[in-house]
Structure 1
Amino acid sequence: MVNVYIETKDAPELTPMLVFWPNYRFAFKEKAVFSPEIMASYTTPFFTIVPGLEAADFIAVPYHYFDVLDYAPKYLAYVYALGKTTQKKVLLFDYTDYVEREIHVPSHAILFRVSAYRHHKKENEIIMPYFVEDIGRNYSFEQKPKGEKPTVGYCGQSRFGGTTRKWKAGVKWLLSLFLLYLRLDVKPHVHMRGIFWRRRALQVLSKSKSIVSRIIERDFYSLYRAIPFDAKTIRREYVENLRENVLALSVRGDANASQRFYEALSAGRIPLFLDTDCVLPLEEIIDYSRIILRVPAQEVDAISRRVTVWHALVSEGDVLQAGREAREVYERYLRLEKFFSIVFDREKSPYKKLLFR
């Protein structure tokens, strides 16, 4: 296990991020409905916290990067200086939706984050998976056969919950797009919020007579306790929607990543992945083309055609094999304890030059 030193002098009173929950066992925010159940399977720490720098492989900042940047910049600057003085690399973590904010970290710091835009990603950023429920294990999923027609499922937020909210979101996006053009961003349209992409993809899929679309649209995010319905019932509908379909539509949220993507893999389902210039975890060693159907965001209007062409080309055996491999990839690479064990393997890590040299 990797040894990390955490500076306690003038440390901010912030809640640590989930990667350090096995170390600190802090209380979850009340609105995070399923976090206790998800984290219950992660009882062994990913890092050993050591009391002194001599025994440390790295210096770690156990809080969300943007929280420290905003509320404790002096502490962050001190840790950077400490790392430079002791020639220890600094580990940072970003588990937020703040993918639109610019990252400025020194060369001896490595930022683990759940999402980035490929055209913005820096060399010292490593994409990590989300913590998600292991649906395949918890709900005893069986493999789903190909079927006569392709089946696509979606269950989640794709409505604004009112005309005013929709109008405000549209205006905000137009202003953001204008600023992206001013900054000469090379792929401005992929920055659009996930709800817009989901709505467009669902509109196209629902019109196709060649596809069986099982769609449950909501105007709320079901992982928050503030929802006006029974959380367990809502979750059961979500799980059954995954169970019933071969393909699971997986589109970014406010971050440029999809939690549903990982849940689908855990369930042995094939993500129908709308790629908004995303970077996937460990893509240097995982052949995602074997277990997902990727559709570039600029081709969203052709998503139904991409599904029907795929369905015509694959055999029953191909679909079953993809489902088995999806589950295997989740278990071997994308559960967080497996992810970190690979990343910090001094011999086999695809990031060994970044981390250890």
Structure 2
Amino acid sequence: MNIHYLSCHYTKNHRGQLFPFLKPFIKSNHFTDHERKEIYQVSETEVEFVTNIKAADICILTMSWNYYVEYNLLDKAKQYILEANAKGKRVWSWMSGDFGVDLKLEADYLVFRNSGHKSQLSKQHIGMPVFISDPLQKIYKTSELHLPDYDYKPVVGFCGQANSSAKQILKEYVIRINYMLKFKFGQTKTSPQPIQSTSLLRAQLLDRLEASKEVTTNFIRREKYRAGVTKHKDNHKTTQEFYDNIKDSHYVICVRGGGNFSVRFYEIVAMGRIPVFVNTDCLLPLETKIDWKKHCVWVDFKDRGKVSEKVKAFHEAHSQESLYSLMQANRKLWENNLRNGNFFKNSIL
């Protein structure tokens, strides 16, 4: 595929804002194509970068919309998109982080993003996975998926922040209200979020499951995000506990955090387990190609009070053999569709 982007837009100090599909190719000179395929699932033989927009199959806006907004470079981004459109080319762009930014540009471009409220977005906005390292390799030094012991009662796991204290609820409300007021008075382009406490939401879901006789719970509740760990997170014992919790469960509770998406969703699927996905109007990747309701216990937000019944019904609809097959299918789904290179190659098809 022929790709066009503007290298002059790239800033090394803000590499985290680089369009994800460009990351495999903007690397140090000693980075090998073997490493590129292993880490990013794409080879340099599959891509050619062109300087002529007319020769491009795909035009990519180099950095995230968040970057262009923060550094007052929106005009440069818009200029590139309009120039590509004038030559008959649609542009790929993306939004990074928990929150999107408010765009007012009538043009032909796609916006890949993890977060956002689906019902409020146009079809220009495309769900994108959170790209994570392979947890089987990183944590367990293996590529082999180990299946949990089967039980007629579903084992539901969760390890993370679930804090229903008044102090935590008030803190989250204040943050949301502050964002909303800044947006209203034009002090930020960051899209406001519903005024709610997601930590409370998780705690309520866990309480509901713990009160049920239909499921076995495997919960580790944290008062703070990542138990308050801020340094050397991957090597901290809490990371091992997090993945062990997924490994030892059939299902794992999965609900939005600060932004309207969940990193945990992709961690669960990569571990070959089944998300109990509480849908808060989320934007999921490859929705026209993947029937997500077959790969997770789907719980609409309005039905969150029935989470135990949803898990029970899903579990009873599966035999041990079909449950294990689904876990293996989820792992394959992550490998083939939700890693960086594979996702964007699937987006082209």
TM-score normalised by the chain length of structure 1: 0.79
The CA distance in 1 between the partners of 2:228 and 2:39, in whole Å, is 20
| Aligned partners of 2:265 and 2:277 also within 8 Å | yes
Gaps of 5+ in 2: 29-34, 184-191
- SS of residue in 2 equivalent to 1:102: coil
Change (3 A) 1:254 1:233: same
**Could you tell me how far 1:274 is from its partner in structure 2?**
0.7
Gaps of 5+ in 1: 27-36, 181-187, 346-357
Between 1:14-23 and 1:313-322, the stretch displaced more is: 14-23
| Aligned partners of 1:154 and 1:241 also within 8 Å | yes
Give 1:126's aligned residue: 126
The CA distance in 1 between the partners of 2:13 and 2:111, in whole Å, is 21
Q: Deviations over 1:104-135 (max 9, x none)?
A: 34331111111222211211111111111222
Residue 315 of structure 1 pairs with residue 315 of structure 2? no
Amino acid corresponding to residue 343 of structure 2 in structure 1? F
The CA distance in 1 between the partners of 2:171 and 2:162, in whole Å, is 15
The CA distance in 2 between the partners of 1:154 and 1:44, in whole Å, is 33
The CA distance in 2 between the partners of 1:125 and 1:256, in whole Å, is 14
Q: Any residues of structure 2 matched to 1:239-318 within 5 Å, and which?
A: 239-318=243-322
Amino acid corresponding to residue 242 of structure 2 in structure 1? Y
The CA distance in 1 between the partners of 2:228 and 2:48, in whole Å, is 31
Amino acid corresponding to residue 284 of structure 1 in structure 2? T
Give 1:210's aligned residue: 214
- SS of residue in 1 equivalent to 2:62: strand
- SS of residue in 2 equivalent to 1:119: helix
The CA distance in 1 between the partners of 2:124 and 2:11, in whole Å, is 24
Residue 167 of structure 1 pairs with residue 170 of structure 2? yes
The CA distance in 1 between the partners of 2:14 and 2:193, in whole Å, is 34
Give 1:327's aligned residue: 331
Q: Deviations over 1:275-311 (max 9, x none)?
A: 1111211121112222211111111121112222323
Change (3 A) 1:312 1:119: same
Calculate percent identity across the aligned residue pairs: 24
The CA distance in 1 between the partners of 2:135 and 2:154, in whole Å, is 22
The CA distance in 2 between the partners of 1:192 and 1:42, in whole Å, is 36
Change (3 A) 1:232 1:21: farther
The CA distance in 2 between the partners of 1:217 and 1:77, in whole Å, is 45
- SS of residue in 2 equivalent to 1:106: coil
Change (3 A) 1:50 1:191: farther
Q: Any residues of structure 2 matched to 1:82-101 within 5 Å, and which?
A: 82-99=83-100, 101=101
The CA distance in 2 between the partners of 1:66 and 1:223, in whole Å, is 28
Give 2:39's aligned residue: 41
Amino acid corresponding to residue 257 of structure 1 in structure 2? F
Give 1:67's aligned residue: 67
Aligned residues: 326
Q: Any residues of structure 2 matched to 1:72-221 within 5 Å, and which?
A: 72-99=73-100, 101-138=101-138, 139=140, 140-159=144-163, 164-173=167-176, 192=196, 194-221=198-225
Change (3 A) 1:299 1:134: same
| Aligned partners of 2:254 and 2:275 also within 8 Å | yes
- SS of residue in 2 equivalent to 1:63: coil
Amino acid corresponding to residue 150 of structure 1 in structure 2? P
